[in-house]
Structure 1
Amino acid sequence: MAISFDKALGVHQHTLGIRAQRAEVLASNIANADTPQFKAKDVDFAKAMQQATSRQRGVSLGGTHQNHFAIQSSLQAESGYRIPNQPDTGDGNTVDMQQEQAAFMENTLEYQMSLGFLESKFNGLKKAIRGE
């Protein structure tokens, strides 16, 4: 009997990937806080989750040459520009450091929770395999 990891792990595998992508976007915002004309971005988690659960996910292989493989993940959350909460300071940058740091911290905690959920799923699978 084959184990389907999509069924066994549920949505937790998708949440982990989306949280990782969101962390990259938020880190980019923080890194560019002093860059003129930089526009803050964010990932819409609900929309990304809907896309992740509605389509078949996985890795697709495609080659540009018969001896080459291009590996592309089909899980790509779209990032959009964030509407700023503060007025323009004159340089066109829309990054609010306090908001970005709070969002990064929240995303980090949610990422750790997703890791914990996946760990419990894998522990359950190990128990099932051992017959416990």
Structure 2
Amino acid sequence: MKLFSNTISTLESALNYSSTKQKVIAQNISNADTPNYKAKEASFKSALNDAQNASMTAKRTDIRHFNFHGEDSSNVMIRTNNRTSYNNNGNNVDVDKEMADLATNQIYYNALTERISGKFQSLQSVIKGGK
């Protein structure tokens, strides 16, 4: 028996992604002056695409249907950008971009926490009998 709806588990996964992204951004900013440091990026889209391509199985009832199968994976992928270099010391951290990403991620995180808080308030209201 499932105690909570899928919405809460989806919000939990989104919060985990946002937390991981926050750590990656903070690591990039803290290493902005480190020689030969390469910026990292947390990517949920690539993990989602990989999961969609590899995690679903379906019964094909027609030969024209797409065939897809594999195993479930919902991890956040962290990629290192080795193709660019902004500084003479081999470092490729763009602090302005990282600060913009930090602000965007903070807004995203705040929206998620408000949404999950609303879900728990709804559950609390149901438990109390609407009082």
TM-score when normalising by structure 1: 0.70
Q: 2:79 is paired with a residue of what secondary structure? A: strand
Larger radius of gyration: 2
Distance change in 2, residues 1:123/1:3 (3 Å) = farther
What is the rounded CA distance, in whole Å, between the counterparts of 2:87 and 2:99 in structure 1?
A: 19
Q: How many residues align?
A: 110
Q: 2:90 is paired with a residue of what secondary structure? A: coil
Corresponding residue to 1:92 among 86, 90, 93? 90
Q: What are structure 1's unaligned runs of at least 5 residues?
A: 56-73
Q: 2:120 is paired with a residue of what secondary structure? A: helix
Indicate the structure with greater strand content. 1
Structure 2 match to 1:102: 100
- Name the % identity: 27
Measured on the aligned residues, the alpha-carbon RMSD in Å equals 2.6
TM-score when normalising by structure 2: 0.71
What is the rounded CA distance, in whole Å, between the counterparts of 1:16 and 1:49 in structure 2?
A: 15
What is the rounded CA distance, in whole Å, between the counterparts of 2:121 and 2:36 in structure 1?
A: 48
Write out aligned runs for 1:1-132 (5 A).
Answer: 3-5=2-4, 7=6, 9-48=8-47, 76-82=75-81, 88-132=86-130
Task: Kindly indicate whether structure 1 or structure 2 has the higher relative contact order, using CA contacts under 8 Å at least 6 residues apart.
Answer: 1
Q: What are structure 2's unaligned runs of at least 5 residues?
A: 56-72
